[in-house]
């Protein structure tokens, strides 16, 4: 083996391990941000951009595919409640109505996501869009916090059916990267009369079909492009996403019950502003 071959071999190994390290970092970011109102997809797109990871179609798909780790963390925590709901729904109207409500909330995103999938990935997966939406979303969170809303609902299972559907339509705004699926769902529920905790909890319930649907559709559309190396990168991101997502799900509801959304709002504004400034300097 000549010197050039050895150098190429070493460079290939270093590149592989560097990609795995980046995937682990992105998995941590996904898990920590998926269920709080800061936009996990937006954070991933920014991280991918500044890490030099994900400039191709695989990189765009990676941000969606590693969400499975976070959603499985949520499903593992909610497994008992999901099982109880499944057993009750055929005999208890309250349980059946809640399942119908979650499906109603899911339908708008499913329909729009199916019809506009290509446009969203090609036109909206842009770091400038992400930064602007971070800032706009931050100010919306501050506005909702200061609006002094008087909640009428304190249990996510007691929302009305039109309210579930309305939240579902508002969730569709989050197809713009940087908006935040959980943020749009929580703000929508609060504007319809939910308190912070029930709004946040319903965002968990709605995340299940929404994220599983997005993952399955992305896998169907892009699965043929994944090589063995890419699968390993996804696996690393998946594991770190699962661990961090589990921690966030376990703590988020208690946090929002006792605190405002100001921390998340100012974080969004800070990241969006720094991101725009950095992009301007790098032109």
Q: pLDDT value at position 233?
A: 82
DSSP state of 174: G
Instruction: Find the mean pLDDT for residues 215-233.
Output: 68
Residue 145: CB atoms within 10 A of its CB come to 17
Query: Taking Cα atoms as reference points, which of 233, 147, 242, 252 lies closest to residue 192?
Result: 147
Q: Rounded CA gap, 280 and 283, in Å?
A: 6
Q: pLDDT value at position 17?
A: 78
Put residue 92 in one of left, alpha, beta given phi > 0 → left and psi -120 to 50 → alpha: beta
Q: Which of the four pLDDT bands, split at 50, 70 and 90, describes residue 226?
A: low
C-alpha atoms less than 13 angstroms from C-alpha of 227 in its C-beta half-sphere:
5
Task: Note the pLDDT tens digit of each residue in 34-91.
Answer: 999 999 888 988 888 887 765 555 665 676 778 888 989 999 999 999 999 999 998 9
C-alpha atoms less than 13 angstroms from C-alpha of 164 in its C-beta half-sphere:
22
Q: Rounded CA gap, 238 and 66, in Å?
A: 5
Q: Rounded CA gap, 200 and 184, in Å?
A: 10
CB 236 within 8 A of CB 20: yes
For residue 153, what are the β-bridge partners? 194
Can you read off the two tokens belonging to residue 33?
């941000």
Could you identify the residue written with the tokens 């909640």?
151
Query: Taking Cα atoms as reference points, which of 180, 209, 189, 200 lies closest to residue 82?
Result: 209
Q: Which of the four pLDDT bands, split at 50, 70 and 90, describes residue 9?
A: low
Q: pLDDT value at position 245?
A: 94
Q: Where are the alpha helices (DSSP H) in 147-261?
A: 161-171, 181-191, 196-222, 228-258
- Check: pTM over 0.75? Answer yes or no: yes
3-33 helix and 228-258 helix, angle to the nearest 10 degrees: 30
Q: Which of the four pLDDT bands, split at 50, 70 and 90, describes residue 283?
A: confident
- Cα distances from 39 to residues 76, 115, 229, in angstroms, run 22, 22, 27
Query: Taking Cα atoms as reference points, which of 192, 194, 209 lies closest to residue 155?
Result: 194
What is the H or E stretch that residue 70 is in? helix 67-77
Task: Note the pLDDT tens digit of each residue in 125-156.
Answer: 788 999 999 999 999 999 998 988 899 999 99
pLDDT above 80 for 15? no
């Amino acid at each position: 083996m000549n010197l050039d071959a050895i150098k190429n071999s070493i460079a290939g190994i270093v590149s592989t391990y560097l990609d795995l390290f980046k995937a682990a970092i992105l998995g941590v970011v996904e898990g920590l941000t998926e269920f709080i109102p800061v936009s996990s997809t937006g954070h991933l797109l920014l991280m991918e951009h500044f890490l030099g990871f994900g400039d191709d179609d695989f990189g765009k798909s990676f941000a969606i595919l590693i969400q499975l780790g976070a959603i499985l963390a949520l499903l593992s925590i909610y497994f008992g409640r999901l099982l109880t709901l499944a057993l009750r729904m055929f005999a208890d109207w309250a349980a059946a109505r809640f399942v119908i409500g979650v499906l109603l909330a899911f339908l708008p995103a499913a329909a729009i996501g199916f019809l506009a999938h290509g446009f969203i990935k090609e036109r909206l997966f842009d770091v400038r869009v992400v930064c602007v939406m971070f800032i706009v979303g931050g100010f919306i969170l501050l506005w909702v916090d200061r609006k002094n809303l008087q909640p009428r609902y304190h249990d996510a299972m007691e929302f009305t059916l039109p309210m579930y559907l309305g939240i579902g339509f508002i969730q569709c705004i989050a197809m713009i990267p940087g908006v935040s699926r959980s943020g749009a769902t929580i703000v929508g529920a609060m504007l319809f009369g939910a308190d912070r905790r029930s709004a946040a909890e319903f965002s968990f319930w709605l995340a299940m079909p929404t994220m599983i649907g997005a993952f399955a559709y992305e896998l169907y559309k892009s699965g043929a492009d994944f090589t063995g190396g890419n699968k390993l990168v996804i696996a690393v991101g998946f594991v770190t996403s699962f661990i961090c997502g589990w921690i966030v799900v376990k703590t988020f509801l208690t946090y929002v019950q006792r605190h405002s959304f100001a921390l998340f709002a100012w974080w969004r504004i800070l990241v969006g502003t720094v991101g725009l400034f950095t992009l301007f300097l790098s032109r």
